[in-house]
Structure 1
Amino acid sequence: MNKQFTLIELMTSITIISIISSLIMPSFSRTRQQAYMTSCKNNLKNIALINSIYTDDHKGLVIPADFGNTNEGELHHWANYIGFINISENILKCPSLDEDEHFDPAGHDPTTGNIYTQASYIMNIIPSNAWNGSPFEISGMGWAYDPETPININDVSKPFNTLYMTDVLADLSNSHIGINSFSKTDWGELLTPPLGNVRRVGIHHLGNFNASFGDGSVHRIKQTHPDQWNTQQ
């Protein structure tokens, strides 16, 4: 004989299922975010590896943020170098971000050779005069902006402690290749695009962000120290 559930039993069962679901779902979400974070770290490690290959091929010079317009029309910003050497553009994309949250690293213009229009990482290219408003006395700088002002890895005092590439702020609306001022680090304000003098570092990995360093290592970071943006410590 089939048992008939009473209303009380049915409501009790629904309540128990709801409680179990409320306990399981955050765990699934966190596990998924952990997987995204690991994938993002691997992307940054691969980009760092590409930089090390470039450095080996160019007598210690670090890959610049901007190559300028080339005669071949195939290379413009650092992100385009990924395509220039036939590496999948997927390493430029953090899986924690949706497609419409990626930013345009260079614009897509055949006349200038820009290739990729979606990226999730941004380079530390802070010049020595861009620490205005910082509570810290910083006289150093980030990595090279262009081939005319190259940085040699052998001249970097602490590459293991110098930020090279970081997660970018989701919904970055403007075309940017690098963090070029103190206010645009994770010490700046976190505002909604369109951006002015506000931070460009994202925090979409459980309130943290991933970053690669000059030695090729990648770490999850809650808050940087300003010295970490300085190649000339």
Structure 2
Amino acid sequence: MRKYFTLIELMTTMTVISIIASMILPSFNRGRQQALKSSCKNNLKNISLVNSIYTDDHNGLVIPADFGNTNEGKLHHWANYITFMDISENILKCPALDDDEHFDPAGHDPQTGNIYTEAAYIMNIIPSDGWNSSPISIDGMGWCYDSETPININDVTRPSNTIYISDVIAELSSSHIGINSFSKTDWGELLLPPLGDVRRVGIHHLDNYNATFGDGSVRTLKQSHPEQWNTRQ
């Protein structure tokens, strides 16, 4: 004799399945987000390695934020140096972002045209007067004396405590080579989206972001401190 499920049995089964799914899916999603975060940290680690090679080859000078006038045959800024080193451009793409969330650095080699059209990482280039949104007095800039004059690694007071390159500023879409003002860092109140004026660093990884420091280490941060943006303390 054929036995059919009653409506109550069917509903009970569906309820149990829904409960199990609600318990399992968040774990899968968190695991996926952790994998994306790890991949992003690996990108930053490789970028840091390329910059270390540049420093070794240039007597201690770190890779400049901006290489100068492209009409003179120079690469436009640090991101394009990655291609110059024959490294895959995917190294500059955070896997946690969709393609339309990457920004166009608009840098180009005059011989080859625009090299990178999608990027997700920015350099700390905050000038001494870029801390105007804070009462904290800071003497010096980020990882350059000006946008075209790179700093010598020996002039950096505490490389292991100074942010070098980090995840992109939230919702950035225009040409940009780095964080150039204090208001664009994550220091201050953490606001929920849409982001306010005091929380400008992307929070791509489970409400955190990744950054590489001057010693080559890569860390996941919830919130930085002002001194972590100052190379000469």
Asked whether the two chains share a fold, i.e. TM above 0.5, the reply is yes
| The 10-residue stretch of structure 1 (94-103 or 70-79) with the greater mean CA deviation from structure 2 | 70-79
Cα shift readout 1:192-215 (whole Å, capped 9, x = no counterpart): 69x9x7654111100000000000
The CA deviation at 1:188 is 6.1
**Matching residue of 2:44:** 44
Find out whether 1:185 has 2:185 as its counterpart.
yes
**Matching residue of 2:32:** 32
The CA deviation at 1:157 is 0.9
CA contact (8 A) 1:73 1:112 kept: no
CA contact (8 A) 2:65 2:78 kept: yes
**Matching residue of 2:20:** 20
**Equivalent residue pairs, number:** 230
Cα shift readout 1:178-227 (whole Å, capped 9, x = no counterpart): 1001101112686769x9x7654111100000000000000000000000
**Matching residue of 1:137:** 137
**Matching residue of 1:156:** 156
CA contact (8 A) 1:125 1:180 kept: yes
**Matching residue of 2:212:** 212
Distance change >3 Å, CA 146–CA 138, structure 1 → 2: closer
CA contact (8 A) 2:80 2:116 kept: yes
Separation in 1, partners of 2:141, 2:185: 13
SS at match of 2:129: coil
**Stretches (4+) displaced over 3 A:** 70-74, 107-114, 188-193, 197-200
Letter matched to residue 173 of structure 2: S
The CA deviation at 1:135 is 3.6
**Matching residue of 2:61:** 61
SS at match of 2:123: strand
Separation in 1, partners of 2:162, 2:96: 24
SS at match of 2:220: strand
**Matching residue of 2:116:** 116
Separation in 2, partners of 1:33, 1:55: 33
Q: Structure 1 unaligned segments of length 5 or more: list them.
A: none
Letter matched to residue 36 of structure 1: L
Separation in 1, partners of 2:101, 2:40: 15
CA contact (8 A) 2:65 2:150 kept: no
CA contact (8 A) 2:104 2:118 kept: yes
Q: CA RMSD in A?
A: 2.3
Q: Structure 2 unaligned segments of length 5 or more: list them.
A: none
TM-score, normalization by structure 2: 0.91
Separation in 2, partners of 1:213, 1:163: 4
Distance change >3 Å, CA 212–CA 150, structure 1 → 2: same
| The 10-residue stretch of structure 1 (134-143 or 156-165) with the greater mean CA deviation from structure 2 | 134-143
The CA deviation at 1:115 is 1.2
**Matching residue of 1:228:** 228
Separation in 2, partners of 1:8, 1:24: 24
The CA deviation at 1:117 is 1.0
The CA deviation at 1:107 is 4.8
Distance change >3 Å, CA 162–CA 53, structure 1 → 2: same
Percent of aligned positions that are identical: 75
**Matching residue of 1:146:** 147
Letter matched to residue 119 of structure 1: A
TM-score, normalization by structure 1: 0.91
The CA deviation at 1:137 is 2.6
